């Protein structure tokens, strides 16, 4: 979680929310949370499990940068 929050702090275009999955089962269902941590980016990119820092950064925002 901390990684996503650090990213939000560094760039105001990024918002990062830690969601407690058991308290919001509707969100967990909607984003098919079958394990934690699960990261969902712009409702479309889904990453299940933790990743090393640079891999996490690349998989979460890499496609947003290339898309320009």
What residues between 6 and 45 interact with another protein by CB under 8 A? 6-24, 27-28, 31, 33, 36-43
Pair of tokens at residue 20? 């407690």
Pair of tokens at residue 36? 């934690």
The least CB distance from residue 47 to another protein, in Å, is 9
The least CB distance from residue 52 to another protein, in Å, is 10
Q: Does 59 bind another protein (CB under 8 A)?
A: no
Q: Does 49 bind another protein (CB under 8 A)?
A: no
29 in Cβ contact with 19 (< 8 Å): no
46 in Cβ contact with 39 (< 8 Å): yes
């Amino acid at each position: 979680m901390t990684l996503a929050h650090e990213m939000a702090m560094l760039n105001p275009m990024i918002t990062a929310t830690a969601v407690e999955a058991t308290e919001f089962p509707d969100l967990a269902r909607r984003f098919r949370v079958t394990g934690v941590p699960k990261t969902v980016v712009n409702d479309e990119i889904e990453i299940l499990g933790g990743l090393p820092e640079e891999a996490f950064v690349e998989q979460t925002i890499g496609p947003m940068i290339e898309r320009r």
